[in-house]
Amino acid sequence: MKVLANDGISASGAAAIEASGHELITTKVAQDQLENYINEHQVDVVLVRSATTVRKALIDACPSIKGIGRGGVGMDNIDVEYARSKGLKVFNTPAASSDSVAELVMAHMRSLVRFMHDSNRQMPLDGDTQFAALKKAYANGIELKGRTLGIIGFGRIGQALAKLAIGAGMRVVFSDMHNEDVEVSLDFFDGQNATFTCKNVGFEGVLAESDFISLHVPGGDLIGATELAKMKDGIFLLNAARGGVINEEALLDALESGKVAGAGLDVFKNEPTPAIKVLMNGKISLTPHIGAATGEAQDRIGTELAAHINALAAEA
């Protein structure tokens, strides 16, 4: 099969695809040129990440396409149901990036409670002349141990985060419409493991009980002024799921009032041009949508995509 990886693919993924006899194209094609390129080269499978969109018009205009793959979890940049109604195979790699996203969320949490996100901005500017003042400004950190993390959306990523949080000594509660209480197993380097029960306390319970809240849902306007008002004073919010899940205007107001002590954001409402007020807020730890951007995750994504392509070829 002829495969276009329009948003790139890891070396291991490329090797796996080519080892199976498929022709891999890694040329980056502009969105407005994609239709012509696919038709000219008779592409069978289009692989995307978050940059390229595959909508109804493109599907209709490119009859050679037999499959669409998303390297990652969310498929909001693909018209999935329409593609499947036309007989196309649509697949993603939901398990491949779970640990990478979870580790990024923990990094944001640890950065926020010790002000590292802001001190790393200010130390290069004033560390040589205002050292004592900066030391005082960042002296009121807190520990994660003993705090409660509430996770909204307890799928693969949510559970991977729960394991890291439990390892840090945190209590974990969650909200998920599909799960009752869930047992998570921590596997250690020496082969030992331990099992912990995480309680499903419901959405309102997470809002009321948590010291930190991390969102792992596929989309929607979930957290606004009403929800923020139900949280503890000094809450920390984390979003590495979808931009817009937290209302950014309401978040900025809550940061200004002190209701929210800090936020860690990997995704934004207006990507790739996030609001300047969000980017400049000293209480927000920022990353540019890199949750799955580790070498290990990209290797797993690439090899999973290769397996899907092989299955599609076998059916053809």
- Residue 106 belongs to domain with CATH number: 3.40.50.720
For CA atoms 9, 11, 17, 21, the dihedral sign is positive
8 Å CB contact between 176 and 154: yes
Alpha-carbon dihedral angle through residues 167, 285, 73, 18, given to the nearest 10 degrees? -100
Looking at the structure, do residues 245 and 159 belong to the same domain, yes or no? yes
Map 242-283 to HEC letters: CCCCECHHHHHHHHHHCCEEEEEECCCCCCCCCCHHHHCCCC
pLDDT on residue 281: 97
Per-residue model confidence (pLDDT) at position 275: 98
Residue 277 sits in the same domain as residue 149: yes
What local confidence, expressed as pLDDT, does residue 129 receive? 98
Same domain, 159 and 240: yes
| pLDDT, position 316 | 78
pLDDT for position 178: 85
Q: Do 280 and 308 sit in the same domain of this protein? A: no
3-state secondary structure (DSSP) of residue 165 = helix
- Answer yes or no: do 144 and 251 share one domain: yes
Same domain, 111 and 21: no
Name 159's Cβ contacts closer than 8 Å, sequence gap at least 6.
98, 182, 184, 198
Q: Do 12 and 84 fall within a single domain? A: yes
Tell me the pTM. 0.90
| 133 and 201 both lie in a single domain | yes
Tokens of 134: 């900066």
Q: What integer pLDDT is reported at residue 225 of this predicted model?
A: 98
Same domain, 202 and 267: yes
Q: Residue 246's closest CA among 227, 229, 231, 259?
A: 227
Q: Same domain for 168 and 251?
A: yes
Neighbours of 104 (CB within 10 A): 22
- Look at the chain and report how many structural domains it folds into: 2
Predicted confidence at residue 217, as pLDDT, reads: 95
Question: Do 70 and 135 reside in the same domain of the chain?
Answer: no
Domain that holds residue 116: 98-286
pLDDT at residue 179, rounded to an integer:
78
Residues with catalytic roles: 242, 271, 289
Residues 170 and 228 placed together within one structural domain of the fold: yes
pLDDT < 70 stretches in the chain: none
